[in-house]
Structure 1
Amino acid sequence: MYITYRKPTPADGQAVYQLIQRCPPLDQNSLYCNLLQCRDFSDTSIIAQTEDGTIAGFISGYIPQSRPDTLFIWQVALSSEFRGQGIANTMLTELFRRDARLTHMETTISPSNQASRKLFTRFFKEHFTSVETKTLFKQGIHFNNDHEDEVLYLAGPAIRLDQQSA
Protein backbone atom coordinates (compact mmCIF):
# COMPACT_ATOMS: atom_id res chain seq x y z
CA MET A 1 0.00 0.00 0.00
CA TYR A 2 1.30 3.44 -0.94
CA ILE A 3 1.69 5.93 1.94
CA THR A 4 2.16 9.68 1.57
CA TYR A 5 3.56 11.96 4.27
CA ARG A 6 2.32 15.50 4.72
CA LYS A 7 1.63 18.33 7.12
CA PRO A 8 -1.71 18.11 8.94
CA THR A 9 -4.48 20.66 8.46
CA PRO A 10 -7.43 21.50 10.73
CA ALA A 11 -9.58 19.28 8.49
CA ASP A 12 -7.56 16.32 9.85
CA GLY A 13 -8.31 17.12 13.49
CA GLN A 14 -11.28 14.78 13.92
CA ALA A 15 -9.50 11.84 12.26
CA VAL A 16 -6.37 12.46 14.37
CA TYR A 17 -8.50 12.57 17.52
CA GLN A 18 -10.11 9.24 16.60
CA LEU A 19 -6.74 7.67 15.72
CA ILE A 20 -5.25 8.64 19.08
CA GLN A 21 -8.27 7.15 20.86
CA ARG A 22 -7.45 3.83 19.15
CA CYS A 23 -3.79 3.95 20.26
CA PRO A 24 -3.48 3.22 23.95
CA PRO A 25 -1.54 4.05 26.07
CA LEU A 26 -1.44 7.52 24.45
CA ASP A 27 -2.93 10.34 26.49
CA GLN A 28 -6.37 11.28 25.26
CA ASN A 29 -6.26 14.98 24.57
CA SER A 30 -9.41 16.88 23.71
CA LEU A 31 -10.58 17.20 20.12
CA TYR A 32 -9.88 20.91 20.48
CA CYS A 33 -6.25 20.15 21.37
CA ASN A 34 -5.88 17.93 18.28
CA LEU A 35 -7.44 20.62 16.09
CA LEU A 36 -4.90 23.13 17.41
CA GLN A 37 -2.06 20.67 16.85
CA CYS A 38 -3.17 20.28 13.23
CA ARG A 39 -3.40 24.05 12.77
CA ASP A 40 -0.73 25.67 14.93
CA PHE A 41 1.85 22.89 15.00
CA SER A 42 1.52 21.63 11.42
CA ASP A 43 5.14 22.50 10.62
CA THR A 44 6.30 20.18 13.40
CA SER A 45 3.70 17.45 12.97
CA ILE A 46 3.15 14.87 10.25
CA ILE A 47 0.43 12.64 8.85
CA ALA A 48 0.89 9.31 7.10
CA GLN A 49 -2.01 8.80 4.71
CA THR A 50 -3.02 5.89 2.48
CA GLU A 51 -4.07 6.17 -1.16
CA ASP A 52 -7.74 6.07 -0.16
CA GLY A 53 -7.33 8.98 2.28
CA THR A 54 -7.13 6.96 5.51
CA ILE A 55 -4.92 8.52 8.15
CA ALA A 56 -2.60 5.70 9.15
CA GLY A 57 -0.39 7.70 11.48
CA PHE A 58 0.18 11.04 13.16
CA ILE A 59 3.14 12.51 14.99
CA SER A 60 2.83 15.77 16.87
CA GLY A 61 5.79 17.82 17.93
CA TYR A 62 7.04 21.31 18.57
CA ILE A 63 10.26 23.29 18.74
CA PRO A 64 10.80 24.69 22.26
CA GLN A 65 11.32 28.46 22.18
CA SER A 66 14.53 28.25 24.20
CA ARG A 67 15.99 25.46 22.01
CA PRO A 68 15.40 26.25 18.30
CA ASP A 69 17.67 23.36 17.28
CA THR A 70 15.51 20.76 19.04
CA LEU A 71 12.37 18.97 17.90
CA PHE A 72 10.30 17.68 20.82
CA ILE A 73 8.08 14.75 19.79
CA TRP A 74 4.85 14.92 21.75
CA GLN A 75 2.93 11.86 20.49
CA VAL A 76 3.32 9.10 17.93
CA ALA A 77 0.08 7.42 16.88
CA LEU A 78 0.00 4.62 14.33
CA SER A 79 -3.09 2.60 13.53
CA SER A 80 -2.57 -1.05 14.48
CA GLU A 81 -2.95 -2.38 10.92
CA PHE A 82 0.03 -0.27 9.79
CA ARG A 83 2.48 -1.19 12.55
CA GLY A 84 5.67 -3.07 11.79
CA GLN A 85 6.06 -1.56 8.32
CA GLY A 86 8.55 1.22 9.09
CA ILE A 87 5.93 3.97 8.79
CA ALA A 88 6.61 5.54 12.20
CA ASN A 89 10.36 5.60 11.49
CA THR A 90 9.72 7.25 8.12
CA MET A 91 7.44 9.83 9.74
CA LEU A 92 10.16 10.72 12.26
CA THR A 93 12.75 11.00 9.49
CA GLU A 94 10.56 13.14 7.24
CA LEU A 95 9.55 15.38 10.12
CA PHE A 96 13.10 15.96 11.35
CA ARG A 97 14.36 16.75 7.83
CA ARG A 98 11.83 19.57 7.36
CA ASP A 99 13.88 22.12 9.29
CA ALA A 100 17.60 22.41 8.58
CA ARG A 101 18.19 24.09 11.97
CA LEU A 102 17.34 20.89 13.84
CA THR A 103 20.22 18.97 15.35
CA HIS A 104 18.56 17.44 18.42
CA MET A 105 15.39 15.52 19.24
CA GLU A 106 13.62 14.97 22.55
CA THR A 107 10.64 12.92 23.63
CA THR A 108 9.20 11.44 26.79
CA ILE A 109 8.25 7.80 27.13
CA SER A 110 6.55 6.01 30.00
CA PRO A 111 8.57 2.96 31.11
CA SER A 112 5.81 0.48 30.16
CA ASN A 113 5.45 1.82 26.60
CA GLN A 114 7.63 -0.82 24.96
CA ALA A 115 6.61 0.09 21.39
CA SER A 116 7.74 3.71 21.76
CA ARG A 117 10.97 2.73 23.49
CA LYS A 118 11.76 0.31 20.68
CA LEU A 119 10.96 2.88 17.95
CA PHE A 120 12.99 5.69 19.49
CA THR A 121 15.90 3.50 20.59
CA ARG A 122 16.34 2.32 17.01
CA PHE A 123 15.79 5.79 15.52
CA PHE A 124 18.23 7.48 17.89
CA LYS A 125 20.88 4.77 17.39
CA GLU A 126 20.74 5.26 13.61
CA HIS A 127 20.66 9.06 13.51
CA PHE A 128 22.19 10.65 16.62
CA THR A 129 25.61 10.68 18.29
CA SER A 130 24.31 10.29 21.82
CA VAL A 131 21.18 9.79 23.89
CA GLU A 132 20.69 10.70 27.51
CA THR A 133 17.69 9.84 29.68
CA LYS A 134 16.34 11.25 32.89
CA THR A 135 13.00 11.23 34.63
CA LEU A 136 11.22 14.45 33.70
CA PHE A 137 7.89 14.02 35.49
CA LYS A 138 7.46 11.63 38.41
CA GLN A 139 4.52 9.59 39.55
CA GLY A 140 3.33 10.84 42.92
CA ILE A 141 4.96 14.26 42.45
CA HIS A 142 3.87 15.58 39.06
CA PHE A 143 1.22 12.93 38.42
CA ASN A 144 -1.24 11.15 40.63
CA ASN A 145 -0.50 7.49 41.17
CA ASP A 146 -2.57 6.66 38.07
CA HIS A 147 0.19 7.79 35.68
CA GLU A 148 3.70 6.42 35.34
CA ASP A 149 6.86 8.47 35.32
CA GLU A 150 7.68 10.20 32.04
CA VAL A 151 11.30 9.59 31.06
CA LEU A 152 12.90 12.28 28.92
CA TYR A 153 15.11 11.10 26.05
CA LEU A 154 17.56 13.75 24.79
CA ALA A 155 19.25 12.84 21.50
CA GLY A 156 21.84 14.75 19.57
CA PRO A 157 23.47 16.02 17.70
CA ALA A 158 22.22 14.28 14.58
CA ILE A 159 24.81 12.36 12.58
CA ARG A 160 22.76 11.63 9.49
CA LEU A 161 19.27 11.40 8.12
CA ASP A 162 19.30 9.59 4.81
CA GLN A 163 17.77 11.45 1.91
CA GLN A 164 15.63 8.46 1.04
CA SER A 165 12.75 7.37 3.24
CA ALA A 166 13.26 4.34 5.45
Structure 2
Amino acid sequence: MPKDLADFDTLRPRTLTMRRPDSTDGAAVWELVRQCKPLDENSMYCNLVQAEHFADTCVVAEMDGEVVGWISGHMIPNKNALFVWQVAVSPKARGLGLGRRMLEHLTARDICTEATCLNTTITKDNEASWALFRSFAREIGGKLSDRAHYTRDTHFDGKHATEHMVTITLSQSATAQTAQAA
Protein backbone atom coordinates (compact mmCIF):
# COMPACT_ATOMS: atom_id res chain seq x y z
CA MET A 1 0.00 0.00 0.00
CA PRO A 2 1.38 3.43 -0.86
CA LYS A 3 2.46 5.46 2.16
CA ASP A 4 -0.02 8.25 1.46
CA LEU A 5 -2.93 5.77 1.57
CA ALA A 6 -1.60 4.18 4.77
CA ASP A 7 -1.38 7.64 6.38
CA PHE A 8 -4.91 8.45 5.22
CA ASP A 9 -6.23 5.31 6.90
CA THR A 10 -4.68 6.27 10.26
CA LEU A 11 -6.14 9.80 10.03
CA ARG A 12 -9.64 8.57 9.22
CA PRO A 13 -12.18 9.45 11.94
CA ARG A 14 -13.01 6.44 14.07
CA THR A 15 -16.42 5.66 15.51
CA LEU A 16 -16.31 4.67 19.18
CA THR A 17 -19.34 3.17 20.90
CA MET A 18 -19.85 1.78 24.40
CA ARG A 19 -22.58 -0.70 25.20
CA ARG A 20 -23.69 -3.63 27.30
CA PRO A 21 -22.15 -6.88 26.06
CA ASP A 22 -24.03 -10.01 25.05
CA SER A 23 -22.99 -13.64 24.80
CA THR A 24 -21.73 -13.21 21.22
CA ASP A 25 -19.01 -10.88 22.58
CA GLY A 26 -17.37 -13.59 24.71
CA ALA A 27 -14.74 -14.68 22.18
CA ALA A 28 -13.73 -11.12 21.25
CA VAL A 29 -13.47 -10.15 24.92
CA TRP A 30 -11.34 -13.22 25.64
CA GLU A 31 -8.98 -12.31 22.78
CA LEU A 32 -8.77 -8.68 23.96
CA VAL A 33 -7.88 -9.70 27.52
CA ARG A 34 -5.14 -11.97 26.13
CA GLN A 35 -3.60 -8.88 24.44
CA CYS A 36 -3.62 -6.86 27.66
CA LYS A 37 -0.84 -8.13 29.89
CA PRO A 38 -0.63 -8.31 32.91
CA LEU A 39 -4.37 -9.06 33.09
CA ASP A 40 -5.16 -12.59 34.20
CA GLU A 41 -6.65 -14.64 31.40
CA ASN A 42 -9.88 -16.40 32.20
CA SER A 43 -11.48 -19.07 30.07
CA MET A 44 -13.45 -17.99 27.01
CA TYR A 45 -16.45 -19.57 28.73
CA CYS A 46 -15.96 -17.26 31.74
CA ASN A 47 -15.96 -14.19 29.48
CA LEU A 48 -19.06 -15.49 27.68
CA VAL A 49 -20.90 -15.93 31.01
CA GLN A 50 -19.78 -12.48 32.19
CA ALA A 51 -21.05 -10.92 28.97
CA GLU A 52 -24.40 -12.66 29.28
CA HIS A 53 -25.13 -12.81 33.02
CA PHE A 54 -23.50 -9.55 34.10
CA ALA A 55 -24.21 -7.42 31.02
CA ASP A 56 -25.68 -4.58 33.12
CA THR A 57 -22.36 -4.15 34.95
CA CYS A 58 -19.99 -4.86 32.07
CA VAL A 59 -18.97 -2.61 29.17
CA VAL A 60 -17.83 -3.36 25.64
CA ALA A 61 -16.24 -0.53 23.66
CA GLU A 62 -16.08 -0.84 19.89
CA MET A 63 -14.12 1.20 17.41
CA ASP A 64 -15.36 0.83 13.85
CA GLY A 65 -17.12 -2.40 14.89
CA GLU A 66 -14.06 -3.99 16.55
CA VAL A 67 -14.02 -4.71 20.31
CA VAL A 68 -11.25 -2.48 21.72
CA GLY A 69 -12.36 -2.11 25.34
CA TRP A 70 -13.86 -4.24 28.10
CA ILE A 71 -14.87 -3.81 31.71
CA SER A 72 -16.18 -6.72 33.74
CA GLY A 73 -17.85 -5.97 37.01
CA HIS A 74 -20.75 -6.69 39.31
CA MET A 75 -22.64 -5.15 42.18
CA ILE A 76 -21.39 -6.75 45.40
CA PRO A 77 -24.32 -8.64 46.96
CA ASN A 78 -25.87 -6.92 49.99
CA LYS A 79 -23.62 -3.85 49.64
CA ASN A 80 -23.93 -0.55 47.81
CA ALA A 81 -20.67 -1.22 45.99
CA LEU A 82 -19.71 -1.83 42.38
CA PHE A 83 -16.79 -4.22 41.95
CA VAL A 84 -14.71 -3.82 38.78
CA TRP A 85 -12.92 -7.06 38.00
CA GLN A 86 -11.04 -6.23 34.79
CA VAL A 87 -10.45 -3.25 32.53
CA ALA A 88 -8.91 -4.05 29.15
CA VAL A 89 -8.02 -1.55 26.42
CA SER A 90 -6.63 -2.71 23.09
CA PRO A 91 -3.26 -1.29 22.05
CA LYS A 92 -5.19 0.18 19.08
CA ALA A 93 -7.26 2.36 21.43
CA ARG A 94 -4.70 3.41 24.03
CA GLY A 95 -4.12 7.09 24.66
CA LEU A 96 -7.80 7.97 24.13
CA GLY A 97 -8.79 7.90 27.81
CA LEU A 98 -10.98 4.90 26.99
CA GLY A 99 -10.52 3.13 30.33
CA ARG A 100 -11.75 6.17 32.27
CA ARG A 101 -14.54 6.80 29.76
CA MET A 102 -15.77 3.21 30.16
CA LEU A 103 -15.73 3.58 33.97
CA GLU A 104 -17.74 6.80 33.66
CA HIS A 105 -20.17 5.08 31.27
CA LEU A 106 -20.59 2.16 33.69
CA THR A 107 -21.10 4.22 36.85
CA ALA A 108 -23.73 6.31 35.03
CA ARG A 109 -25.96 3.29 34.45
CA ASP A 110 -29.18 2.95 36.45
CA ILE A 111 -28.00 -0.29 38.07
CA CYS A 112 -25.12 1.63 39.70
CA THR A 113 -27.12 4.55 41.12
CA GLU A 114 -27.21 2.99 44.59
CA ALA A 115 -23.46 2.34 44.62
CA THR A 116 -21.63 4.54 47.13
CA CYS A 117 -18.23 3.18 46.17
CA LEU A 118 -16.34 1.40 43.44
CA ASN A 119 -13.99 -1.42 44.46
CA THR A 120 -11.29 -3.12 42.47
CA THR A 121 -8.11 -5.02 43.26
CA ILE A 122 -4.70 -4.09 41.85
CA THR A 123 -1.21 -5.48 42.38
CA LYS A 124 1.33 -2.85 43.47
CA ASP A 125 3.32 -3.16 40.22
CA ASN A 126 0.38 -2.58 37.83
CA GLU A 127 1.14 1.06 37.10
CA ALA A 128 -1.41 1.37 34.29
CA SER A 129 -4.29 0.31 36.56
CA TRP A 130 -3.18 2.61 39.37
CA ALA A 131 -3.03 5.52 36.91
CA LEU A 132 -6.46 4.70 35.52
CA PHE A 133 -8.22 4.49 38.87
CA ARG A 134 -6.45 7.55 40.27
CA SER A 135 -7.49 9.49 37.16
CA PHE A 136 -11.07 8.27 37.52
CA ALA A 137 -11.17 9.23 41.21
CA ARG A 138 -9.86 12.73 40.40
CA GLU A 139 -12.35 13.13 37.54
CA ILE A 140 -15.36 12.35 39.73
CA GLY A 141 -14.03 14.00 42.89
CA GLY A 142 -13.93 10.68 44.74
CA LYS A 143 -11.55 9.66 47.50
CA LEU A 144 -9.27 6.70 46.70
CA SER A 145 -7.94 4.40 49.41
CA ASP A 146 -6.28 0.99 49.31
CA ARG A 147 -5.17 -1.84 51.56
CA ALA A 148 -3.75 -5.30 51.06
CA HIS A 149 -6.67 -7.68 50.55
CA TYR A 150 -5.81 -10.94 48.78
CA THR A 151 -2.29 -11.66 49.98
CA ARG A 152 0.44 -13.65 48.25
CA ASP A 153 0.84 -16.23 51.01
CA THR A 154 -2.64 -16.45 52.53
CA HIS A 155 -4.73 -16.43 49.36
CA PHE A 156 -2.41 -17.26 46.44
CA ASP A 157 -0.18 -19.93 47.97
CA GLY A 158 2.83 -17.77 47.09
CA LYS A 159 2.06 -17.91 43.35
CA HIS A 160 0.60 -14.42 42.73
CA ALA A 161 1.36 -10.95 44.00
CA THR A 162 -0.81 -9.44 46.72
CA GLU A 163 -3.91 -7.72 45.37
CA HIS A 164 -4.75 -4.42 47.04
CA MET A 165 -8.41 -3.56 47.51
CA VAL A 166 -8.91 -0.10 46.04
CA THR A 167 -11.99 1.80 47.12
CA ILE A 168 -13.19 4.97 45.41
CA THR A 169 -16.06 6.87 46.94
CA LEU A 170 -18.89 7.63 44.54
CA SER A 171 -21.07 10.56 45.50
CA GLN A 172 -24.55 10.79 44.02
CA SER A 173 -23.74 14.22 42.60
CA ALA A 174 -20.56 12.90 40.94
CA THR A 175 -22.50 9.99 39.46
CA ALA A 176 -25.16 12.37 38.16
CA GLN A 177 -22.51 14.64 36.61
CA THR A 178 -20.86 11.64 34.99
CA ALA A 179 -24.24 10.51 33.62
CA GLN A 180 -24.81 13.93 32.06
CA ALA A 181 -21.35 13.95 30.48
CA ALA A 182 -21.78 10.44 29.01
Q: In structure 2, which of residues 6, 10, 25 is the aligned counterpart of residue 12 of structure 1?
A: 25
Q: Does 1:73 align with 2:95?
A: no
State the partner residue of 2:37: 24
User: Aligned Cα RMSD in Å?
Assistant: 1.2
5+ residue gaps in structure 1?
none
> Bigger shift: 93-102 or 110-119?
93-102
Alignment-derived partner of residue 55 in structure 2: 42
Structure 1 letter corresponding to 2:78: S
- 5 Å-filtered alignment, 1:17-166, equals 17-51=30-64, 53-67=65-79, 69-99=80-110, 100-158=113-171, 159-160=173-174, 161-162=177-178, 163-165=180-182
Kindly provide the CA deviation profile for residues 35-84 of structure 1, in whole angstroms up to 9, marking residues without a partner as x. 10000000000000012x100000000001121x2110000011012111
Post-superposition, which runs of at least 4 consecutive aligned residues in structure 1 deviate over 3 A? none
Larger radius of gyration: 2
The gaps in structure 2 that reach 5 residues or longer are 1-13
Q: Give 1:128 deviation, angstroms.
A: 4.1
Q: What CA distance in whole angstroms lies between the structure 2 residues aligned with 1:129 and 1:76?
A: 19
User: Could you tell me how far apart the structure 2 residues matched to 1:32 and 1:154 are?
Assistant: 29
TM-score, normalised relative to structure 1: 0.93
Decide which moves more: 98-107 or 112-121: 98-107
- Is the helix fraction higher in 1 or 2? 2
Give, as a single letter, the amino acid of the residue that structure 2 aligns with 1:85. Answer: L
Paired residue total? 163
Distance 2:117 2:141 in 1: 8
Deviation at 1:95, TM superposition (A): 0.4
